[in-house]
């Protein structure tokens, strides 16, 4: 192999069950370069990184480090060979000191087995000094600002003199000043001969920092380019690829008046001046990269996150929502993206799961008793309407497939006559057949005058089911598109924040 | 689609197998109880009689009354360690008010029940408002109120001759049915009814099954939790009255270790150790197993140390069964 590469991967395949997440992916990293790795959510970046760092084993393909083929059976193997990863979430041990964190698992000892504190602190100081940093080594890491915690983490990675450093969106929690400081540190490391893989969604960072860029899409490596050859347009085109076929034929419904709107919603650190509305007869989709604020938006509307300022209107009437109960009483329903932890109650029956939210309003008899016959009828009605596939409403929901569980969770809000339905990634972990049925039900709801708001990360889904699309980028809505004007490229450009 | 269906059918089959296993394990418990009873019947001439059965009922009532509330608490994945101390406070408050302050019996009883209720409420506030985990919150309260019981009585047992209090513990209807046993059975029926037929009961199971999902379905998880601990506190106070009536004496050390007996009873009947499911009838079975075991061993004049060991062993076996069932 060409020995200008420190690390290279060829023909990597990886499947999880049915899902083929890496298809013949390849990647090369030159000695002493900073290499940007890009791609939309689910393109396979994280999986590739996990394979390169020994977190996952590959199904097929070769990885070559320093000219020698290598096999990692665990992250430790990769670390031992000089590959270190710094994940997006900082993983320092907060109650321990800076020095202890840097040499965690590798503390210098005296001959009697006790920690050699003097040597530890001295070595830690040396590592930090080599980075041009002056953080007191005896301070508890938890007391440091995030940016310095991250430096500790980098120092920890460098304490074993790695050949390859992998950084996964390290600037997500940093401000501009901290970011530029990190960049000069990374450039310094590069000049010392460390090779760096840098994952990010931010174009400006890629241009400023990297030497080469690899773009991934749908589990494949699309292209590797010199950074000076690329521009926004080219990158977006590479990331989204060909226009994909619609996954669902969404019929047009007669549009009507505005039935729901949110105005200037602000939540400190989570949402920035968000406004949008839904007209009768349309499905509104909120698109954006993962973590752009979609989840927070849903929860703020649903009363699960406290709103700092802003108004919510239902049928042009202002509603005040201070709790989940207020939201439900106003006719709002919310389907969480985390079905297992926030959706289903696995030990209870399908019937009980469907009726749960409707109990106080529709199924309460005297003395707080449940109207059992009515409960059965109500649950059966939605069980049939959404074509839930199982032995009946008395089956425990935990034993159903993802798609069928999701239908039940959606039914929970239909049973309570929700007028506004917020769905956060409703088809996550749902098979294709059930997806179509869910889309069809959303369409039917829309026709009945329910305001349907769907958060989705998948562009084919966005383009299939939406009538109007809002794109979020870093806690704010940056674009609004009708389905006819929307293309994958436009959506991605907004989501990446390169047009606004 | 085909695959999905096949998968769902497979799941259904698994569910049926689990149901069957559960039935087998449940029958094991009943068979064990019967076998134990048959053994005692042959070993002691006094065991098999209505009178003895009523004795058992009466003696388990103190644990049984509290165990109903504890079952609901444990369905929500909580625990209450303060119940034994509430027994003592309740008894001491009653006896002090009647004997020392010469207040009418009903005032004393009411005060004791309110004291239990308030202690339970405090547990609930600590857990929901201050977010102390139930184990720690109720462990703290257990010691605080045990200390309180010693403080108000100056560490002395208080004899009470009140016939009304005696009625709670030792009274009998038709000269045969013990009042405490009757109270226990009535409470079991009420708690069962509430847990099965009311919205509140449904919420208890939902919260235990998935607290976050329950919250997002609009359930006031904190309110339900608060009510459960308050209820358990009040029930513990009622048990305290029964105990005081039975002994005609209130002791600040009364009820020590009863928290563990109650928890044992809940598990022994085969209630889940992971919350979200369970039934007070299982708890009743657990209560009766302990009662029969204690009674039979006492009739055979086996030292009470053996009873303690046997209870511990049974608890461990019951939890192993629970784990097996879950697999």
pLDDT digits (tens, 9 = 90+) for B116-162: 999 999 999 999 999 999 999 999 999 999 999 999 999 999 999 89
Structure tokens at A466: 């939406």
pLDDT at A2 over 60: no
Residue B327 is predicted with a pLDDT of: 65
- B220–A325 C-beta distance less than 8 A: yes
Q: Which of B5, B197, B205 sits opposite A348 (nearest CB)?
A: B205
The overall average pLDDT reported for chain A is: 90
Contacts of A395 in chain B (CB under 8 A): 12, 15
B229 to chain A, closest Cα gap in Å: 19
The angle that helices B179-197 and B163-170 make with each other, rounded to 10 degrees, is: 70
pLDDT tier for residue A306 given thresholds of 50, 70 and 90 = very high
Q: Which fold has domain A5-240?
A: Rossmann fold (3.40.50)
Contacts of A347 in chain B (CB under 8 A): 205, 209, 276-277
pLDDT at A19 over 80: no
The overall average pLDDT reported for chain B is: 91
Structure tokens at A152: 């500790």
Q: Can you tell me the mean pLDDT for B57-71?
A: 96
pLDDT tier for residue A106 given thresholds of 50, 70 and 90 = confident
pLDDT tier for residue B265 given thresholds of 50, 70 and 90 = very high
Interface mutation vs chain A, best among B4, B218, B220, B322, most A CBs within 10 Å:
B218
pLDDT > 90 fraction of chain B, expressed in percent and rounded: 69
Pairing of strands A476-482, A309-314: unpaired
Contacts of B210 in chain A (CB under 8 A): 341-342, 344-346
Cα dihedral: B69, B75, B77, B83 (round 10): 10
- A352–B202 C-beta distance less than 8 A: yes
CATH number assigned to the domain covering A257-496: 3.40.50.300
- B197–A356 C-beta distance less than 8 A: no
pTM, two decimals, is 0.84
Residues A456-475 have pLDDT tens digits of 998 889 999 999 999 999 99
* Whole-number Cα distances in Å, B50 to A11, A495, B53, B291: 80, 78, 5, 15
Strand order in the sheet with A451-456: A332-335, A420-424, A451-456, A283-288, A468-473, A476-482
- B8–A344 C-beta distance less than 8 A: no
Place of tokens 């907060």: A94
Owning domain of residue B312 = 50-320
- Give the CATH number for residue B242: 1.10.3470
The nearest alpha carbon in chain B to A412 belongs to B217
Contacts of B12 in chain A (CB under 8 A): 390-391, 395, 399
Q: Give the residue with greater pLDDT, A108 vs B224.
A: B224
Number of domains making up chain B: 1
Residue B1 is predicted with a pLDDT of: 41
Whether residue B88 lies inside any domain: the answer is yes
Contacts of A391 in chain B (CB under 8 A): 12
Residue A384 is predicted with a pLDDT of: 93
Q: Of B179, B176, B167, B161, give the one whose Cα is nearest residue B61.
A: B179
Residue B9 is predicted with a pLDDT of: 63
Whether residue B5 lies inside any domain: the answer is no
Residue A88 is predicted with a pLDDT of: 77
Most confident residue range from A55-59, A200-204, A434-438, B76-80? B76-80
Q: Can you tell me the mean pLDDT for A24-32?
A: 93
- Count interface pairs A-B at CB distance under 8 A: 99
Whether residue B64 lies inside any domain: the answer is yes
- B197–A372 C-beta distance less than 8 A: yes
Domains A5-240 and A257-496 alike in fold: yes
The nearest alpha carbon in chain B to A369 belongs to B198
- A345–B276 C-beta distance less than 8 A: yes
Q: Can you tell me the mean pLDDT for B71-76?
A: 96
pLDDT tier for residue A389 given thresholds of 50, 70 and 90 = confident
Residue B6 is predicted with a pLDDT of: 57
Q: Is B215 on the interface with A (CB under 8 A)?
A: yes
| Bridge partners, A369 (sequence order) | B198
The nearest alpha carbon in chain A to B10 belongs to A399
């Amino acid at each position: 192999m060409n020995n200008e590469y420190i690390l290279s991967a060829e023909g990597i395949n990886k499947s999880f069950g049915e899902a083929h997440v890496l298809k013949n992916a390849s990647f090369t990293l030159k000695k002493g370069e900073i290499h940007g790795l890009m791609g939309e959510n689910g393109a396979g970046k994280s999986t590739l990184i996990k394979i390169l760092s020994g977190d996952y084993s590959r199904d097929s393909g070769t990885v070559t480090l320093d000219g020698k083929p290598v096999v990692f059976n665990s992250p430790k193997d990769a670390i031992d060979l000089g590959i270190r990863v710094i994940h997006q979430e900082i993983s320092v041990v907060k109650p321990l000191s800076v020095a202890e964190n840097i040499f965690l698992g590798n503390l210098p000892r005296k001959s009697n087995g006790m920690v050699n504190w003097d040597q530890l602190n001295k070595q830690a100081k040396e590592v930090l000094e080599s980075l041009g940093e002056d953080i007191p080594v005896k301070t508890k890491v938890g007391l440091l600002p995030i940016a310095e915690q991250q430096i500790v983490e980098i120092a920890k990675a460098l304490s074993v003199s790695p050949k390859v450093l992998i950084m996964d969106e390290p600037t997500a929690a940093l401000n501009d000043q901290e970011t530029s400081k990190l960049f000069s540190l990374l450039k310094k490391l590069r000049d010392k001969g460390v090779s760096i893989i840098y994952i990010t969604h931010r174009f400006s960072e890629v241009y400023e920092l990297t030497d080469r860029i690899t773009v991934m899409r749908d589990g494949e490596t699309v292209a590797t380019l010199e950074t000076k050859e690329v521009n926004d347009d080219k990158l977006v085109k590479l990331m989204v690829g060909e226009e994909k076929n619609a996954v669902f034929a969404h019929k047009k419904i007669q549009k009507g008046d505005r039935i729901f709107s949110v105005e200037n919603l602000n939540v400190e650190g989570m949402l920035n001046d968000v406004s949008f509305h839904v007209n009768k007869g349309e499905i509104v989709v909120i698109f954006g990269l993962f973590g752009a604020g979609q989840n927070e938006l849903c929860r703020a509307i649903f009363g699960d996150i406290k709103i700092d300022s802003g108004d919510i209107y239902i049928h042009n009437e202002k509603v005040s929502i201070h709790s989940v109960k207020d939201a439900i009483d106003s006719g709002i329903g919310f389907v969480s993206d985390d079905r297992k932890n926030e959706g289903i109650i696995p030990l209870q029956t399908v019937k009980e799961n469907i009726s749960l939210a409707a109990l106080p309003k529709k199924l309460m008899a005297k003395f707080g008793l449940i109207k059992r016959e009515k409960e059965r009828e109500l649950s059966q009605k939605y069980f049939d309407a959404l074509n839930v596939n199982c032995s009946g409403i008395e089956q425990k929901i935990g034993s159903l497939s993802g798609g069928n569980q999701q239908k039940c969770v959606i039914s929970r809000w239909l049973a309570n006559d929700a007028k506004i339905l917020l769905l956060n990634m409703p088809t996550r972990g749902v098979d294709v057949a059930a997806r179509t049925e869910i889309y069809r039900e959303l369409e039917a709801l829309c026709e009945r005058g329910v305001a349907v708001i769907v958060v989705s990360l998948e562009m084919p889904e966005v383009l299939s089911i939406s009538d109007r699309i809002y794109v979020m980028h870093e806690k704010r809505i940056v674009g609004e598109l009708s389905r006819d004007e929307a293309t994958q490229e436009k959506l991605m450009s907004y989501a990446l924040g390169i047009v606004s | 689609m085909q695959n999905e269906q096949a998968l769902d059918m497979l799941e259904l089959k698994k569910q049926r197998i689990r149901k069957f296993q559960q039935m087998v394990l449940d029958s094991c418990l009943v068979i064990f109880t019967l076998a134990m009873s048959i053994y005692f019947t042959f070993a002691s001439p006094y065991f098999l009689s209505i009178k003895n059965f009523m004795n058992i009922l009466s003696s388990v009532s103190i644990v049984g009354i509290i165990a109903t509330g504890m079952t609901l608490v444990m369905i929500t994945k909580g625990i209450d360690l303060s119940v034994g101390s509430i027994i003592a406070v309740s008894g001491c408050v009653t006896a002090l008010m009647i004997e020392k302050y010469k207040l009418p019996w009903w005032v004393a009883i009411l005060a004791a029940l309110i004291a239990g209720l308030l202690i339970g409420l405090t547990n609930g506030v600590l857990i929901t408002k201050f977010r102390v985990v139930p184990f720690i919150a109720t462990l703290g309260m257990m010691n605080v109120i045990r200390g309180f019981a010693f403080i108000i009585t100056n560490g002395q047992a208080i004899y009470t001759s009140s016939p009304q209090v005696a009625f709670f513990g030792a009274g009998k209807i038709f000269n045969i049915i013990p009042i405490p046993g009757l109270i226990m059975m009535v409470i079991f029926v009420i708690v069962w009814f509430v847990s099965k037929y009311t919205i509140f009961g449904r919420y208890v199971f939902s919260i235990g099954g998935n607290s976050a999902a329950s919250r997002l379905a609009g359930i006031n998880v904190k309110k339900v939790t608060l009510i459960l601990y308050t209820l358990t506190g009040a029930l513990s106070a009622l048990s305290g009255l029964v105990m005081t009536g039975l002994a005609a004496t209130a002791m600040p050390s009364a009820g020590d270790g009863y928290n563990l007996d109650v928890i044992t009873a809940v598990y022994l009947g085969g209630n889940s150790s992971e919350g979200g499911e369970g039934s007070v009838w299982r708890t009743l079975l657990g209560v009766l197993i302990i009662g029969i075991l204690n009674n039979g061993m006492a009739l055979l004049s086996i030292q009470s140390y053996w009873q303690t060991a046997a209870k511990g062993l049974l608890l461990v076996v019951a939890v192993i069964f629970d784990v097996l069932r879950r697999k």
